Chain A
Amino acid sequence: MKRVVQLRRSGGCFIVITLLFGAIAVNTSNNLLYIVTALMLAYLLGSGVIGRRNILAAEISFELPDEIYAGVPCPVTIKVRNSSRAPLFLIEASLGGRANQRAFFPVIQPQETAERTAFVTFLRRGRAKLTDAELFSLYPFGFFKRFGRVANGMEALIFPSPVRCDLKDVFARSAAASASPAAPLADADVVGVRDYAEGDSMKIVHWKSTARTGKLKSRLYETASLSVRVIDLDSLVKRGVEQGLSMAAFAVCESMKSGLPVGLKNGGRTEEPESGRRHGLFLLSKLAGYGEKVRP
Chain B
Amino acid sequence: MSSEQKKIRLTTALDAVSLLASLFACGACVENVAPAFPLVFLAMALFAALLDMRGCGRPPRIVINLMSMAILAVLALRLRYNYIFEALIEALLLMLGVELLEKRTLRGWSQILGISFALPVACTAVSVGKSFLFYAAGSAVLCSTGLMLLLWLRRDENAAAAPNELWQLFKRSFTIFAIALPAALFIFFAAPRAAAPMFGMRGRYPSAATGFADEVQLGAADEIETSRALAFRVEVEELPATPYWRGKILDVFTGASWLSSNIPADQGGYEPEPKTKRYRQTFYLEPSFSSRALFALDRPLGLSGIDAEDQGGATYAAAGYSRARRLRYEAVSIVSRKLRPSDAGFDKRRYLRYPKGTMPRLEALTAGLTAGKSSRQKIDAIMNYLAPPRFAYSLSGLSRSANALEDFVFNSRSGSCEYFASAMGTMLRMAGVPARLVGGYRGGVYNEAGGYYSVLDENAHVWVEAWDDGEKAWLRCDPTPAGEDFGLSQNQTIVGMYLDYLDYQWSRLVLGYSWELQASAVGRLKSALSNPASTLPKAENALSSFVKIMRLPVLSCVFIAVLSWLVRKLLRLKKRRPEEALLAQYDAVVKRSGFRRGSCEGLEEFAARIDEIELRELTMSFARIFEEKYFADQPFDRQTQARLKTVIAKIKKSEEKIPLSKK
Contacts and interface: CB of A to CB of B under 8 A. Distances in A.
B121 A36 contact: yes
B193 interface: yes
Given A37-B187, A47-B144, 8 more contacts: A31-B510, A32-B123, A33-B124, A42-B182, A45-B180, A49-B179, A106-B159, A140-B144
B194 A89 contact: no
A87 B124 CA distance: 36
B412 interface: no
A89 B511 CA distance: 38
Contacts of B198: 23, 26-27
B125 A30 contact: yes
Interface stretch (B91-99, B170-178, B598-606, B622-630): B170-178
| Chain A interface bracket (under 10, 10 to 19, 20 to 34, 35 or more) | 35 or more
A43 B178 CA distance: 10
Interface residues of B, number: 53
Interface SS, B side: helix
Contacts of A29: 193, 197, 202-203, 325, 514
A50 B176 contact: yes
A30 B124 contact: yes
A62 interface: no
Contacts of B514: 29
B140 interface: yes
Nearest to A54: B172
B199 interface: yes
A207 interface: no
Contacts of A49: 179
Contact of A89 (B169, B191, B510): B169
A114 to B, nearest CB: 12
Interface in B131-171: 132-133, 136, 140, 144, 147-148, 150-152, 155-156, 159, 161, 165, 168-169
Instruction: Give 5 nearest A-B pairs by CB, closest first.
Output: A28-B203, A42-B183, A42-B180, A32-B124, A42-B184
Contacts of B173: 140
15 contacts: A23-B199, A27-B198, A30-B203, A31-B510, A34-B188, A38-B184, A39-B181, A39-B184, A50-B172, A89-B152, A106-B156, A106-B161, A107-B161, A139-B151, A140-B151
A192 interface: no
B513 interface: yes
Interface in A9-49: 21, 23-24, 26-39, 41-43, 45-47, 49
A35 to B, nearest CB: 6
Contact of A41 (B140, B177, B184, B510): B184
Contacts of B151: 90, 138-142
Contacts of A46: 176-177, 179-180, 183
Given A26-B193, A30-B124, A87-B165, A35 B201 contact: no
B184 A35 contact: yes
Contact of A104 (B121, B155, B184): B155
A39 B198 CA distance: 22
Contacts of B325: 29
A55 to B, nearest CB: 14
B201 A43 contact: no
B172 A140 contact: yes
B127 interface: yes
B521 interface: no
A153 to B, nearest CB: 24
Interface in A103-117: 104, 106-107
